[in-house]
Structures are given as structure tokens and as C-alpha cells.
Chains A and B, each alone.
Chain A
Amino acid sequence: MNAAATSMPPSLAVAGLRISAGGKVLVPGLSLTIGRGEIVGMVGASGSGKTISAFSLARLLPDTLTQSGEISLEGERIDRLSESEMRKVRGGRIGMVFQDPLSSFNPLRTVGSILVESICRHQRLPARQARELAIDTLATMRLPGRKASVDAYPHMLSGGQRQRAMIGLALVNRPALIIADEPTTALDPTIQLQILALLRHQASSAACLFITHDIGAASAICDRLAVMNEGEIVEEGPTDRLLASPTHPFTRELLSHAPGGARFR
């Protein structure tokens, strides 16, 4: 999709990622590469390990899980960074979009103040400019009323608007990688399509890892798909190829069980 990608290191390169809970191995050894401007869909049933794999990239796993393996962001080994260096990566070079946008915003804070907090942390802008940037970002995400959205509390926005604001928060510091964990699952179908289109459009300059169990949603915006089952990528390839001729039995099963699988094609 992006010709310049060949001359630069991939935005994300994961090799031998292993996640375990106590003695139980959940992800034995995951490898994945995402180029600049590329959207890769990680699809699989719940419990397949796709969400913990995605969270581990930003080192956001709960304390009960341990991770190891190489994670390179634009050629830099971020798995070797200290926790304080990692905090600069989170929200700065890695932006995240979560499943439930209502519970993912602090109910006592305005949406704008959450963006401003992140902008000030990563871009070191004065508060006034940070607010301007937050207003611009929310407007770009097509939230209504420039000033009204920035001062709105999460409960005042609709589900779709909250998710737009969440995408704005993920993108506001121009990250190299966007991790979107089931960003459309909690939304109704018409809103899902709008959010997917927004993500596709806005994420054009970053790499994007799109986690979903909805293969239909994934096929709508992803350049490549990686099918996960029991902690392993069982099949990976360009979206069209994978949907047209799945080779792994699990992929075929996943496709046959996707009611909306055909709606985007």
C-alpha cells in the first residue's frame, strides 16, 4: 500500500512474543509486522489471545501476566525501554482505541481535558495551545460544535461521538502505531461503518493494528488479516486473498460463522 515503506523499517515488528499467566502459556510465540500506513486486522474468537497480544505491545498487561519477546517500533526495540521511557511511548508513539467508549472516559472529566492532559504530557505545549489542538482534533473527528465537544462530559455524547473522541485521543499526538481493540463492537451497525471509515481515513499515515472478532468489520478496512486461534496466528495474508481462498480450517470456520461476513464485500 505504501511504496516508501520498503526503504524504512516497518512501523511495528514483533518477533517471538510470548505471554504467560503463571505457568500457563497463553501466547507461545507471536510474530507480526505492520508497515507504515498499513492496517492489519487481527481476527479470532474471544480467548484467542488477540487482545492481550495487542495490549502487550504497549506493555499494558495486568500484573498477573508476563511477557517476553522483541517488539520494535520504527526500528527501535521498545521492549528494552524502562517503564518511564515506555510512558512516553504510550499515548505518544502508540495510540490506543478501546472497546467501550463510555467506560473508557473518566466520567468526571470533560473529553477535552483528557485530550489536553495527553497533549501537554507528550508535546509539552502550553495549556492554551493544547486546548486549541484538542478542539481541532475533535473537529477533525467530526464531532459537532467545535467548542461544545471539547467541554462535553462523556455522558453527554452519543456512543458514536464518544468513539470518535477516543480515536481523536489516540491520534492527537500523531502516533506511529494505532492499536484499536474492538473499536466498533459496542456500537450499532450504521455507526460502526462511520467509525471504520474514520479510522481508515485518519490512520493513513500510521500503522494500525485492528483487533476484532468481526471478520466483516476487519475486511472493510484492513489491508491484511491475521487469523488468531489459541494464541497463535494460524493464517495471515492480504484481505482479499484470505477471504477468497482461506487455507486454514479455522479461518474457514470463522468465515462461515460471520453473519455480516458478506456485507462489506
Chain B
Amino acid sequence: MSALRGLRDLVFVLLATMTVLFFLLRLTGDPAVVLAGDGASPAQVEAIRAEYGFDEPLLVQYAVYAGKLLTLDFGTSLADGTPALEKALISFPATLFLAVMALSVNLLISLPAGLWLGQARSGIARRTVRGIITVMQGFPGFVIALLMINAFAVGLEWLPTVGFGGPATWILPTLSVVSFLAPKLIRVIEANTYAALTSNYVRTAKASGAPDNVILWRHVAPNALLGAIALVGAEFAFMLTGLVVIETIFAWPGIGWLLVQSTLSLDFPVVQAVVFLMVVGVFATNALAEHLQAALDPRIGNARGAD
């Protein structure tokens, strides 16, 4: 029932996105001119326009495009003639890999940091960490990325600047992404931890003699982390669509990088295939986060069954 509803929503969002994208792309420039290249004669441009169907009325082009979309046919790349979806799918694993790595590191940092901040009494250590987080939150990710490249790759020469190779090339992109995702997650976990610690159910646990570690791990942490699942999902969805700048800085061959390349060269089919993949990725991530939350929170699971 809910899976069907999710699928219906996905189809609707895809239709809307792909439609808007189609008309936006046609506003950006004439692909025939780009395809013909510099110094092509008007006759050559016209020939290309006719070959690719760009001379048809826009609505006819849209109808053809929408029809092919139904069979997941995005056409071929204007740059090299390979199928557009294939090009996007080949780039997707690199983005997914970066997103999973950043998610893991983000969780490894944010869970302990948020829990610690939430239960720490005011002191120099706590104020220092909070200060760092506040400053980090104000920095855009690409600034941190450039600063780290400057420090670790150019200055100290410890790590390669760009590219996608062994583990050494993973570190800077991952840390750049984590640097702007972690502060938000830490803040939310901190606030949830504090709320749980001052809750009545923790008072009940104390009143039944629970020691601090039992209170933290069996009562506070599950409640604090459950409330952060939605944000973790949103951050992961963001990474599937929003790593354009980071991937470009590090020449990371993911879909963000491909999106920039294909947009600059007006390679419409590839842009459309990439955006399609991103929408599906965001939808899948949100659905997963929602199901995870429902599975872990007995109040949600029961609301569907019993009430």
C-alpha cells in the first residue's frame, strides 16, 4: 500500500522534474551550434539540427522525449555517442562511494561528539568543541576543501590533490564533505541527547537505580539517535545531488562532475539522465530513512497497524 503510494509519488516527481528540465535546457542554448563546433557553416548547423530533430516544434520534441523517457531511453550523448543513461550509470558508483564514505565518517564523528556534548557539563573542553563547530558551520564546504588541498596536498605534500585512485585520494574529498555535514548532525544529536537526559523516562531510570552508563546507552542514546535518522537521510540525499562543487574541485568522476561537464557542453541527454538518476537516488534514500525510522520507533509501526 505505502510502497505503491511511494512509487506513484516518484513517477509524479520524475515527470515534473524531467519536464521542467527539458524546457530549461532548451532555454540555455542551441545544441546544434555546439555540436557543429567552431567555424561550422550555417548549412552544416542546419544539417545537424535536422539530423537530431532540433528543427521540430518544441512541443513535438517534448512529446518524443517524454515517450522515450517511458522506456528509460535518454538518447545518446551528443559528445561521444554513447548511451546517456549508461554514461550516468558509470559515473554513479563514484558518487555513491564518496557519499557512503562521507556518511560513515560523519556518523563516526557526529555520534560520539553529539552524545558527549549533550551530556557534558559546561567546561573549557565543551566550550572549545562548540566553538569549533560553530566556526565550521559558517564555512562553505568548498572553502574547507581548498584550504585542505593547500595545506595537505600543496604545502605538506602528504596527499594527492585531485583524482580518483587509491585510499590516499579519498581522504580530502571525504573530509571536505564531512566538514560541512557533521556540524549540523552534531548539533541535532546534542540537542536530542540533552532533551533525553532531562526527560521523565530518564528520571524513572535514575529512580530505579540505573547507573550513568546504562542511562546513556540504553535510554538516552536510542532516543537521541532515532530523532537524527531523518537528518542523516537528508544529508545522504544531499550528497547524491549536491557534491557538484566538491567533485569538480577534486576531479572526482562522479555524477556531480558529469553534470557540470555535460551542462557546459550542452550535452542534453546526459544532463537529463544524470538528473533522472539523482531524483531516483533522493527518493530511494528518503524511503529508506522513513522505513528505518518506522522499523525502529514502535510508536510509528503501531500507528499503522492498530490505530
Could you list which residues of chain A lie within 8 angstroms of chain B, going by C-beta atoms? 58, 60, 84, 87-92, 94, 96, 98, 100, 103-109, 114, 117-118, 121-122, 153, 155-156, 166, 169
Contact = CB atoms under 8 A, between A and B. Distances in A.
A138 B223 CA distance: 25
| 6 A-B pairs with least C-beta separation | A91-B208, A91-B209, A103-B200, A96-B207, A118-B208, A106-B201
Contact of B207 (A58, A84, A106): A58
B150 interface: no
B206 interface: yes
A105 B203 contact: no
Contacts of A121: 208-210
Contacts of A153: 298-299, 302
A100 B200 contact: yes
Nearest to A59: B206
B11 to A, nearest CB: 34
A104 B209 contact: no
A108 B200 contact: no
A90 B206 contact: yes
A98 B200 CA distance: 9
Contacts of A91: 207-210
Given A90-B209, A114-B204, A108 B226 contact: yes
B305 to A, nearest CB: 10
A162 B114 CA distance: 32
Contacts of A169: 204, 208
A184 B219 CA distance: 25
Given A60-B206, A90-B208, A121-B209, 15 more contacts: A84-B211, A87-B211, A90-B207, A91-B207, A91-B210, A92-B209, A103-B200, A107-B297, A107-B298, A107-B299, A108-B296, A108-B298, A117-B205, A155-B299, A166-B204
Centre residue among A88, A106, A122, A166 by max chain B CB count within 10 A: A106
A106 B299 CA distance: 11
Nearest to B218: A117
A108 B209 contact: no
19 contacts: A88-B209, A90-B207, A91-B208, A94-B207, A98-B204, A100-B200, A103-B199, A103-B200, A104-B200, A106-B204, A106-B219, A107-B201, A107-B299, A108-B297, A118-B208, A153-B298, A155-B298, A155-B302, A169-B204
Interface in B261-300: 296-299
A93 B226 CA distance: 33
A159 to B, nearest CB: 14
A89 B209 contact: yes
Contacts of B296: 108
B306 interface: yes
Given A106-B223, A107-B299, A155-B298, A117 B200 contact: no
Contacts of B200: 98, 100, 103-104
